[in-house]
Amino acid sequence: MQTHEIRERFLNHFVKQGHTEVPSASLILDDPNLLFVNAGMVPFKPYFLGEQTPSSSRATSIQKCVRTLDIEEVGITTRHNTFFQMAGNFSFGDYFKREVIRFAWDLLTNPVAEGGFGMDPDRLWPTVYRTDDEAARIWHEDIGVPEERIQRRGGEDNYWDMGVPGPGGPCSEIFYDRGPEYGVDGGPAADENRFIEIWNLVFMQDIRGDKSPKEGFEPVGELPQKNIDTGMGIERVACILQGVENVYETDLLAPVIQVAEHVTGSVYGRVENSVEDVRFRVIADHSRTALMLILDGVTPGNEGRGYILRRLLRRIIRSARLLGATGATMEKFMDTVRSTMTPSYPEITENWERIRAVAVGEETAFLKTLESGTRLFEDAAAKVKATGGTELGGDAAFVLHDTHGFPIDLTIEMASEAGLTVDKDGFDTRMAEQRARAKADSRAKKQVHADVSVYRSFVDNHPTVFLGYDTTDAEAHILGLVSGGQLVDRAPEGSEVEVILDRTPFYAESGGQMADRGTLTGPGGLAQVLDVQKTGRKVSLHRVNVTGGELAVGDTVAAHVDHAWRHAARQAHSGTHLIHAALRDVLGPTAVQAGSMNKPGYLRFDFTYGTQLTSDQLRRIQDISNEAVDTDYTVNTIETSLDEAKAMGAMALFGENYGSRVRVVEIGGPFSMELCGGIHVDHSSQVGPVTILGESSVGSGTRRIEAYTGMDSMRYLAGQNAVAGSLASRLKVTSEDLPERFAQISERLQAAEKRINQFRTAELTARVGDYVMQAVTVDGVRVVAARVADGIAGGDLRTIANDAKARFGSDEAVVVFASADPESGKVPFIAAVTDAAVARGLSAGEVVKAIGPLVGGRGGGKPSMAQGSGSDVSGIDAAVAAVRPHVESALSGAR
Ligand code: SER
């Protein structure tokens, strides 16, 4: 039975039982505790908690889920997918244990011809919570499962909650026995590989506190009513009904494995559960997860969701490479997932171009990384070997990881290919140090206090009323003061606290716009507002410094936003929208916003795009933005429904969670329309000149434009103008003639430098005789090894080396010269060996190979002449000194 059919049957079964079918929510929901939606019940949480009333008391859904905690397990066990589809039926205070058990049993065991899955009832094993006699009785008496096939288990297995304070309850799980060839007898308690969990029925009745009943702690309360939450793993059921070994071989993923075989040349399943097989499964699993994440708006990045996506994509690329792929493979994998998943998720089609661009962009960047990282790896490995070592240091592995994104196991793999081990402990230490630094950094950052429970009652009872769209000044009451994570009554002079007001004109940082600055003035004191952040999406926390007197809970304060700050912030935010619109105009729809930040007078805008922008493209983006300023468009804000906003063509940042009512900011009708909660100018001309400062790369496939607006733009342009003016007057030309004049000067400078070098070389050539005279004799071979004057380039080194060699005529001789280039920090070096010495078994190529690592470089060439370049000036003397021992050992080896 195909996966799509399993989905259909599930939904039909429950719709027939009076359930309302609810479409899957996005993988990204606004819940600070969740990186991704990881269970079918997540979108229904407010109904369980009684916070909202559902329109129907029975619901069913197939929810997209992502769990990435056990990413390393993927492919190793038979049942872990990072993306999976959880089929669920839910009762909000409607039916309970008896009905849910019956519903599940019927669907699993009803004959296929009657809409069921036709599973053999004798293979099904339910488990119940240790003390749940009621559920055990229903399984035995109502359903007829023999008592010995009903197992009781503790909280760890048979209690379910979201891992955080909130709804929870004991559960009853249903396992399918795959047969003795998969493991030992004894039911799920004995073997969860043979007995595979397919369905979890949660009797959602409790509120768990800080500690989970999973670990034996008592729930802290009861939900207002008894509910049902179930989750059936579509992939696992497919695995059983399709008679395949594991979830990676089902109809939705097997085609990816086939494509992977094709592009890598390796064969899946040659040796059961081999490392190769695991790599194939990683490719299949991660390709699908990556596609579904990108579909829901995630882009690769260095933290949070973006990092998970990046990690998945890189694991795919690496696995393919280790299986033998040499070039790009991502598009083929994504394309295969597209065809298997589109029947259930038709929205993939309209988003395909974007999905493809993001995934392929990351691949292109990572392959480049692999290339540069591989070079670095090889140098490091050569250095280790040159000194006779066998272990690559933890520092080198860390640099590979940190700056080249090399996963440690890739480094270990490559090291073992090169006959080396890796100092894993050293690497772990460096990683731990880095994590500690990052943690300290994030602690030092503004952000809301980590333990959000102190804000909870405000979030529940006193959402802050925002007045900032209409005014910058308002009277407000202090509802709460938080100092160091604790509620306090007063904040004395000199203290830094968070102030919670009933209403505020202060914009809290969001949607890329920085928070307003200003003051709070109370009856007894004055405070400067340093930052404003939202907690629970509802309450604004004003971080303030009390600069005089004191603030106290209950005070009425005058909240005043700094006008100049607000004015410039509006300019920057509207400027961001103008640049976004202009950018799409110039680059087309594949350039998708990946984030933005604007503060008074300055903005930066990140977007996905595979290549560097040309200066012409940048100029056009700037021109179009400034034309929009000049046109003086009216800026309108419209409150509407999300669907309507999309129908209007408003651009939305994927991955953001928008409520049912959204705000559309429109600048000049179709010119720019975006969903946005930020604060904008009233007319586009108020943005002032938009000056693009430049464009750069911020991680793979993502580019960044930075720009000034308003007075900052003016000041910047005036500054540039002054620089040009002063240069022009010093060079005695007009500003317009500066480029031409500059080109002349630089040409003359180059010519002069060339002449200087010629003189230098001539002087050096004159000294060649001295070097030849200083040759030492090693076993009959004359050896010259010298550091010559700084700044002699490779070509000139070759000239003097040839000259010296010629002076030895038919003698046996080895000549080595090295120089340091103080400007670039490079160390060119060269070796020349006379024919007679080559006949003795000496080789210039071997000489440069031996000394290269000592100056942090490498080189190569022929036996008679070889050269190279390094980057460590401090190693030159050691490199020069190493020539003689090398010759000695080469001669003794040749004997
Ligand atoms: N919420 C439960 C689970 O995730 C049942 O859907 O297992």
Per-residue pLDDT band at 655 (split at 50, 70, 90): very low
Closest ligand 1 atom to residue 88 Cα is 6
Indicate if ligand 1 lies below 6 Å from the C-beta of 174: no
395, burial (CB in 10 Å: exposed 0-12, middle 13-18, buried 19+)? middle
Q: Which residues pair with 673 in a beta bridge?
A: 666
Atom 6 of ligand 1 has which residue's CA nearest to it?
231
Provide the percentage of residues in the chain whose pLDDT is more than 90. Answer: 66
The reported pLDDT for the residue numbered 447 is 42
Dig out the tokens for 810 from the structure. 């038919």
Indicate if ligand 1 lies below 6 Å from the C-beta of 38: no
Whether pLDDT at 448 is above 60: no
pTM: 0.55
Residue with tokens 């100049």: 564
**Could you tell me which residues come within 8 angstroms of residue 69 by beta carbon, excluding any fewer than 6 positions away?**
none
How far is it, in rounded angstroms, from Cα 627 to Cα 608?
24
Q: Which residue has the higher pLDDT, 656 or 779?
A: 779
Indicate if ligand 1 lies below 6 Å from the C-beta of 768: no
Per-residue pLDDT band at 653 (split at 50, 70, 90): low
Ligand 1 mean position to 651 CA, how many Å?
34
The reported pLDDT for the residue numbered 452 is 61
Per-residue pLDDT band at 440 (split at 50, 70, 90): low
Dig out the tokens for 680 from the structure. 């904008």
Read out DSSP for 8-31? HHHHHHHHHTTPEEEPPPPS--S-
Ligand 1 mean position to 301 CA, how many Å?
29
Q: Which of 124-138, 222-236, 608-622, 634-648 has the lowest mean pLDDT?
A: 634-648
The reported pLDDT for the residue numbered 658 is 56
Q: Which residue has the higher pLDDT, 446 or 738?
A: 738
Please tell me the number of Cα atoms within 13 Å of 792 on its side-chain side.
Answer: 23
pLDDT tens across 841-884, in order?
999 999 999 999 999 998 888 999 999 999 999 999 999 999 99
Rounded to the nearest integer, the mean pLDDT of the chain is: 90
State how far Cα 320 lies from the chain centre: 20
Indicate if ligand 1 lies below 6 Å from the C-beta of 522: no
Among the listed residues 531, 700, 705, the one whose alpha carbon sits nearest the alpha carbon of residue 604: 705
Ligand 1 mean position to 151 CA, how many Å?
19
How far is it, in rounded angstroms, from Cα 162 to Cα 834?
76
Closest ligand 1 atom to residue 41 Cα is 1
pLDDT tens across 124-139, in order?
999 999 999 999 999 9
SS3 464: coil
Per-residue pLDDT band at 368 (split at 50, 70, 90): confident
Q: Which of 58-67, 563-572, 788-797 has the lowest mean pLDDT?
A: 788-797
Read out DSSP for 128-171? EETT-HHHHHIIIIII---GGG-EEE-HHHHEEE-SSSEEEEEE
Provide the percentage of residues in the chain whose pLDDT is more than 70. Answer: 96
Please state the rounded mean pLDDT for residues 413-437.
Answer: 84
Q: Which of 174-178, 335-339, 366-370, 767-771 has the lowest mean pLDDT?
A: 366-370
How far is it, in rounded angstroms, from Cα 839 to Cα 841?
5
The reported pLDDT for the residue numbered 418 is 82
Q: What is the DSSP letter of 105?
A: H
Residues in the chain: 895
Sign, CA torsion 642/645/649/650: negative
Query: Which residue out of 201, 202, 205, 214 has the highest number of ligand 1 atoms within 8 Å of its CB and is therefore the one to mutate?
Result: 202
Indicate if ligand 1 lies below 6 Å from the C-beta of 677: no
Dig out the tokens for 860 from the structure. 């190569």
User: What is the maximum span of the chain, computed from C-alpha positions, in angstroms?
Assistant: 107
Dig out the tokens for 258 from the structure. 């086939």
Q: 816 with 785: CB under 8 angstroms?
A: yes
Within 677-826, residue ranges assigned H as helices are 710-731, 738-773, 794-807
Alpha-carbon separation of residue 681 from 385, 532, 576, 665, 709 (angstroms): 64, 21, 12, 10, 12
The reported pLDDT for the residue numbered 5 is 95
Please state the rounded mean pLDDT for residues 297-316.
Answer: 86
The reported pLDDT for the residue numbered 651 is 75
How far is it, in rounded angstroms, from Cα 228 to Cα 17?
14
Counts for the chain of helices (H) and strands (E), in that order: 25, 35
Query: Which residue out of 90, 214, 230 has the highest number of ligand 1 atoms within 8 Å of its CB and is therefore the one to mutate?
Result: 230
Indicate if ligand 1 lies below 6 Å from the C-beta of 231: yes
Indicate if ligand 1 lies below 6 Å from the C-beta of 39: yes
Indicate if ligand 1 lies below 6 Å from the C-beta of 160: yes
Ligand 1 mean position to 727 CA, how many Å?
70
Q: 478 with 551: CB under 8 angstroms?
A: yes
Indicate if ligand 1 lies below 6 Å from the C-beta of 168: no
**Enclosing H/E stretch for 475:** strand 473-483
Indicate if ligand 1 lies below 6 Å from the C-beta of 126: no
Ligand 1 mean position to 11 CA, how many Å?
17
**Enclosing H/E stretch for 661:** strand 661-667
Residue with tokens 């709804």: 167
The reported pLDDT for the residue numbered 20 is 94
pLDDT tens across 509-537, in order?
988 899 999 999 999 999 999 999 988 77
Whether pLDDT at 553 is above 70: yes
Please state the rounded mean pLDDT for residues 273-289.
Answer: 93
Q: 41 with 48: CB under 8 angstroms?
A: yes
Known binding positions for Zn(2+) = 573, 577, 676, 680
Amino acid at 439: K
pLDDT tens across 870-879, in order?
999 999 999 9
Q: 58 with 19: CB under 8 angstroms?
A: yes
